[in-house]
Amino acid sequence: MLPSLVVAAIHLALTLVLPPLLVGIIARTKAALAGRQGAPVWQPYRDIAKLLRKGSVISTTTSWIFLASPVVGIAAAIVASLLLPMGGHRAPVSFAGDLVLFAYLFGLARFFTVSAALDTGSAFEGMGGAREVTFSCLAEPALLLGLVVLVRATSSLSLSTMLGPQVLAQWHVAAAALVLVVISLFVVVLAENCRIPFDDPNTHLELTMIHEVMVLDHGGPALGMILYGAALKLFVLGAIVVAIAVPVRTGSLVVDLGVFVGAMLGLSVLVGVIESATARLKLRQVPSLLVGACLLAGFAVALSAR
């Protein structure tokens, strides 16, 4: 066994380095399916590096909250990643109830993102903020309800145990419930990260956007940090789905982490395929899909009641 400090360092390094790659793979997948060549998968890294060097225009309407939002977004996502078991190995920080902290850290990031949007005084950004808080009100209960199934199955309140080696055994006992949980959490991941069918990150119609419209006024380094923070969020939330859906736990750190990284890349391909194959939902229909995710998780809880 490697000393836990080394494991933690690998954990942190993966978290910090990998996320933009996921975004790159999603874009590449979409390009391939559309018959285009597309940008290289490393493009997001270059974009972020470029933005960090660029100048920016900061609106005279704004206060310090405007620049605090990317900072809080990154800090919250990194702390959340510390609670996450990768490949079934114990997370650097784990305790009873860490799943609540995990969910609430994204609440903190959302508080500041939407506040920064209101800070610009623009109607577009207010619109995006209102949509973001509305949809998250439905996504978050689904996330916690999905995790309740794992809490019940493993009798543990910590992500490291819930998503640890026990997951494989649970697939033998309660496969139906876990399938429902995976689908429900995958919907939550798409919604929280503003992917199609909830939101189109590449749209040019500001009126219809959610996340992108809230950051319309950020530029340069602040925008770079926001893009990086969004990639981190995709990575951290996606890792939960992967941890349940791919229950390979050999006990060897290298193999498990390799499988984990491979599964994460697979998840990005899947997101890319969905984005190519489906259209955005009308805004009015978004709540029904999220309520559907809640209900799926509810059925999963009912299945675990035996």
Partner 1 sequence: MILAAIALVAFSGAPGVLLGRTSRVGERIATVLLVAGCLLGLGVALGALRTSVLLDLPWAVPGGRLAVRIDALSAVFLLPLFVVAPLGSIYGLEYWAARDHAEDGRKLRLFYGLLAAGIALLLVAGNAVLFLVGWETMALAAFVCVTTEDRLEAVRRAGYVYLVATRIGTLALFAMFAILHQATGSWAFAAPASALGPQAATAVFVLALVGFGTKAGLMPLHVWLPGAHASAPSHVSALMSGVLIKTGIYGLVRVCSFFEQPPLGWGVTLLAVGAVSGVLGVAFAIGQHDLKRLLAYHSVENIGIITMGLGVAMLGRAIGSPVLVALGLAGGLLHVWNHALFKALLFLGAGSVLHATGTRELDELGGLSRRMPRTALAFLFGAVAICGLPPLNGFVSELLIYLGLLRATTTDRLLVAGAIGTPALALIGTLAVACFVKAHGVVFLGSPRSPRGDHAHDPGAAMLAPMGVLGVACAAIGLWPSGVAPAFERAVAAFSSEVAVASGSLEDLAPLRILSVTGAALLALGAVAAALLRRSTSRARAASGPTWDCGYAAPSPRMQYTASSFAQTLVDLFAWALRPVVHPPRVGGLFPQPATFHSHVPDTVLDRAVLPLSRAGARVARWFRWVQHGNVHLYLVYVLSTLVILILVSR
Contact positions with partner 1 (CB under 8 A) in 89-148 = 93, 95-98, 100-101, 103-105, 107-108, 110-111, 114-115, 118-127, 129-131, 133-134, 136-137, 140-145, 148
DSSP 8-state symbol, 122: -
Compute the least distance from the CB of residue 280 to partner 1, in Å.
17
Q: Looking at 38-46, 47-55, 171-179, 191-199, which segment touches partner 1 (CB under 8 A)?
A: 47-55
Q: Looking at 12-20, 28-36, 64-72, 263-271, which segment touches partner 1 (CB under 8 A)?
A: 64-72
- Which residues 271-300 are close enough to bind partner 1 by CB under 8 A? 287, 294, 298
Q: Does 57 bind partner 1 (CB under 8 A)?
A: yes
SS3 89: strand
User: Between 96 and 169, whose beta carbon lies closer to partner 1?
Assistant: 96
User: Between 125 and 256, whose beta carbon lies closer to partner 1?
Assistant: 125
Instruction: Give how far Cα 296 sits from Cα of 106, 171, 180, Å.
Output: 22, 17, 6
Give the residue, chosen from 10, 58, 179, 274, that forms a contact with partner 1 under the rule CB under 8 A. Answer: 58
- Report how far residue 148's alpha carbon sits from residue 221's, in angstroms, rounded to the nearest whole number: 39
- Examine residue 141 and say whether the peptide bond preceding it is cis (omega within 30 degrees of 0): no
Backbone angles phi, psi at 282, to 5 degrees: -65, 150
- Which residues 13-32 are close enough to bind partner 1 by CB under 8 A? none
User: Closest by alpha carbon to 211, among 47, 8, 70?
Assistant: 70
User: Between 31 and 303, whose beta carbon lies closer to partner 1?
Assistant: 303
SS3 121: coil
Q: Looking at 21-29, 212-220, 236-244, 265-273, which segment touches partner 1 (CB under 8 A)?
A: 212-220
Q: Does 82 bind partner 1 (CB under 8 A)?
A: yes
- Report how far residue 29's alpha carbon sits from residue 35's, in angstroms, rounded to the nearest whole number: 10
User: Between 43 and 56, whose beta carbon lies closer to partner 1?
Assistant: 56
What's the gap between Cα 207 and its chain centre?
24
Other CB atoms closer than 10 Å to residue 4's CB: what's the count?
A: 12
User: Between 180 and 259, whose beta carbon lies closer to partner 1?
Assistant: 180
Q: Are 57 and 32 in contact (CB under 8 A)?
A: no
Give the residue, chosen from 40, 46, 59, 251, that forms a contact with partner 1 under the rule CB under 8 A. Answer: 59
Instruction: Give how far Cα 126 sits from Cα of 146, 205, 227, 244, 286, Å.
Output: 30, 15, 20, 36, 18
User: Between 29 and 136, whose beta carbon lies closer to partner 1?
Assistant: 136
User: Between 119 and 200, whose beta carbon lies closer to partner 1?
Assistant: 119
Q: Looking at 8-16, 34-42, 71-79, 235-243, which segment touches partner 1 (CB under 8 A)?
A: 71-79
Structure tokens at 143: 């996330």
Q: Are 183 and 296 in contact (CB under 8 A)?
A: yes
